[in-house]
Structure 1
Amino acid sequence: MKAKFLLNLTALIALTVFASGCNGQKNNTTATETTTEAEPVGPKFNPDSAYAYTAAQCEFGPRTMNSDAHEKCGEWIIGKFKQYGCEVQTQKADLKGYDGTILKSTNIIASTNPSAQRRIMLCAHWDSRPWADNDPDSANHKKPVMAANDGASGVAVMIEIARLLQADSTLNIGVDFVCFDAEDWGVPTWETNVQDSGDSWALGSAYFSKNLPAGFNPEFGILLDMVGGEGANFYKEGLSNRYAPDIVDRVWAASKAAGYGSYFPDQEGGMVTDDHYPLNENAKIKTIDIIPYYPGYGGSSFGPTWHTINDTMEHIDRNTLQAVGQTVIQVLYTL
């Protein structure tokens, strides 16, 4: 989710709002990092393709709940996964937002190699934040977010991986791509009469976690949240380390083997309530979160465009998309 919550890493007691913003400074990593230990496997992830899928979602406009853009983009996502050989099912539900709004939600589940017993889940949310309530200009706080990074980038990485898997017959496991809806309707900062306890976020994944499709039983899951931003580094998220430390270790080792270890510091960042939380807590599916962390900035740790009107294609970095995409490919092809 996006106005997520940071849990105290030393005590794991109090939830405090993980307010966001970020330093906006690019790091010095490049997409061509190599190490003597790198042993990349699997097909080459195409960042230009992922970038194009991100842009295609943004062309619909902000995909806010109950909007025409939201419905049309959902149809596009379904069509792309079908185009790349996936069996697709949808999970529709009327969910209640923090303000009582009924949200017409659609979770999208796309599966490769559906007969495979051994399965891995990749997931991301596809809806847009209705309010740019972290924008430095308060005049923008009730404007919708384009959500190029905060939503579209994760879905784009998954679609590119689906395309690669269709063209490759060597992977003998199945992959379930899950696009969660209604993730970003959490209490806005300007809503002073409503206390945000954290349960107003990740509504689609919470519903999914309590209503799993028949036979849905992945070995583990990887959540992709804001995986295309400029200057992004992906620290080990705290709840991921708490619920699935072995999967965290597997993914971070894969980043090094694929040649992108500098994007994945071997350090822990904040604990964040995101779509992986209900998957772990309710469905007992070990799921980790690949999410950026910008330490040392006063107002936010999610990046300079988080919940602002500047979350647009101008701030999507192909290098970041490639680092994450190739790392996930590395994980899949070393199981």
Structure 2
Amino acid sequence: MQWLRINFTLLFLFSCQSYSLERDMLILTSPEFEGRPSGGAQPHRSAYYITRQFEKYGLEVRFDQFEFEYGFFDSATGHNVVATQYCTRMQCHSPIVITAHYDHLGTRGSRYFPGANDNASGVAVMIDIARQLQGIDVNRDVIFVATDAEEKGLHGAKAFVKQLSDTQIHMNINLDMLDLQRKNKLYALASRSLQPMKETITSTFASTPVKFQLYFSAKIMARRLNAPQIDWLRASDHYPFYRADIPFIYFGAGVDKHHHSVNDSLDKINFEKLTQVSNAITKFVLSQVSNNAAATS
């Protein structure tokens, strides 16, 4: 009976977590959020929603405004949502930065682009990681950045990295398109500087239900995913960190046939698997911020 009670409790908690992910994605992909277009004179309503979720978990949240140019003559204002869980120890290690872009393609005429996998999935998992870290005595600041204007040229990530100046960053973890596809596998591309951590990274995921494949070469990743047209190094917000010589690891589920179409919708998302992905990535984050984390910087 005791075993049954424990399992029912775990099932209940798992169901609540899955509901939380689904709720966040339902709201982020709703028509009221208009496909979360990049940039605007004021923060988009989706940015305010993300802010409220971070605040629920006791994080200090701010908007970082930036200007960006796109195309030949166009310019706009973007707003990153930056939320921080602070290290309160006497001695703290260098921060870890977790990124996920919240903008998408907006509307085209009477149609809107929900952007469920791209990238409501990454934002929802980032919020879920913040929930799971609530109350943890972290040994380094954990900075969550919901970036704007990724779709226009990674501008939110570029603006955030630029303001870091000489701040030493332990690692960037970038989350983009996390719904497991046909191959049912989570992929990661990491900077070569993280190769000494290969065993730590892979062993973390080996103890989870998630099938996982780690690469240190964008070309090899493209070849193995049969997607030679995609430059995985430059494809998302980890690239500005790479350019600044900041170690990164990018998590994604590979090619999605519904990418940048109106069919990238909530009904395509497998929330049971997304919950497993969130738990697995959180486990890796914990390996970098908890008491027994190997602090290399």
TM-score, normalised to structure 1, is 0.68
Is 67-76 or 315-324 further displaced after alignment? Answer: 67-76
- Higher RCO (CA < 8 A, seq sep 6+): 1
Letter in 1 for 2:56: Q
Task: Quote the residue 1:151 is aligned against.
Answer: 119
* Higher-strand-fraction structure: 2
Q: Percent of aligned pairs with the same residue?
A: 24
- The change in CA–CA distance for 1:247 and 1:106 in structure 2 (over 3 A counts) is farther
Letter in 1 for 2:249: I
Task: Quote the residue 2:159 is aligned against.
Answer: 207
Contact between 2:179 and 2:269, CA under 8 Å: does it hold in 1? yes
- The change in CA–CA distance for 1:102 and 1:114 in structure 2 (over 3 A counts) is farther
Residues 59-86 of structure 1: per-residue CA shift (max 9 Å, x gap): 2230012469961111111111112110
Q: Counterpart of 1:127 in 2: which secondary structure? A: coil
- Deviation of 1:156 (Å): 0.6
Q: Distance in 2 between matches of 1:129 and 1:69?
A: 17
- Deviation of 1:99 (Å): 4.0
1:112 corresponds, among 67, 75, 85, to 85
Task: Quote the residue 1:192 is aligned against.
Answer: none
1:73 corresponds, among 26, 35, 46, to 46
Task: Quote the residue 1:233 is aligned against.
Answer: 185
Contact between 1:230 and 1:317, CA under 8 Å: does it hold in 2? no
Tell me whether 1:281 sits opposite 2:231 in the alignment.
no
Contact between 1:103 and 1:182, CA under 8 Å: does it hold in 2? no
Q: Distance in 1 between matches of 2:198 and 2:265?
A: 29
Task: Quote the residue 2:105 is aligned against.
Answer: 129
RMSD, matched Cα: 2.9
Letter in 2 for 1:165: L
Task: Quote the residue 2:151 is aligned against.
Answer: 184
- The change in CA–CA distance for 1:131 and 1:100 in structure 2 (over 3 A counts) is farther
Residues 134-191 of structure 1: per-residue CA shift (max 9 Å, x gap): xxxxxx9x9652111101111111111212222x435444321111111012xxxxxx
Q: Counterpart of 1:106 in 2: which secondary structure? A: strand
Residues 76-126 of structure 1: per-residue CA shift (max 9 Å, x gap): 111111121101122111101124322221111111125452332211111
Q: Distance in 2 between matches of 1:184 and 1:123?
A: 14
Tell me whether 1:290 sits opposite 2:251 in the alignment.
yes
Unaligned runs of at least 5 residues, structure 1: 1-42, 133-139, 186-200, 294-301
Unaligned runs of at least 5 residues, structure 2: 1-12, 223-230, 288-292
1:94 corresponds, among 53, 67, 72, to 67
Task: Quote the residue 1:252 is aligned against.
Answer: 202
Contact between 1:63 and 1:69, CA under 8 Å: does it hold in 2? no
Contact between 2:87 and 2:138, CA under 8 Å: does it hold in 1? no
- Deviation of 1:225 (Å): 0.5
Residues 36-64 of structure 1: per-residue CA shift (max 9 Å, x gap): xxxxxxx9792331122111211223001
Residues 246-292 of structure 1: per-residue CA shift (max 9 Å, x gap): 455533321112332x2x1356522411211111212x221111122
- The change in CA–CA distance for 1:235 and 1:162 in structure 2 (over 3 A counts) is closer
Task: Quote the residue 2:10 is aligned against.
Answer: none
Q: Counterpart of 1:235 in 2: which secondary structure? A: strand
Q: Distance in 1 between matches of 2:247 and 2:214?
A: 20
Task: Quote the residue 1:16 is aligned against.
Answer: none
- The change in CA–CA distance for 1:247 and 1:111 in structure 2 (over 3 A counts) is farther
2:27 corresponds, among 37, 56, 64, to 56
Contact between 1:230 and 1:316, CA under 8 Å: does it hold in 2? no
- The change in CA–CA distance for 1:157 and 1:202 in structure 2 (over 3 A counts) is same
- Deviation of 1:310 (Å): 0.6
Task: Quote the residue 2:290 is aligned against.
Answer: none
Contact between 2:34 and 2:107, CA under 8 Å: does it hold in 1? no
TM-score, normalised to structure 2, is 0.75
Q: Distance in 2 between matches of 1:70 and 1:258?
A: 37
Letter in 1 for 2:213: P
Task: Quote the residue 1:326 is aligned against.
Answer: 279
Tell me whether 1:222 sits opposite 2:173 in the alignment.
yes
Q: Counterpart of 1:124 in 2: which secondary structure? A: strand
Q: Counterpart of 1:183 in 2: which secondary structure? A: coil
Contact between 2:238 and 2:249, CA under 8 Å: does it hold in 1? yes
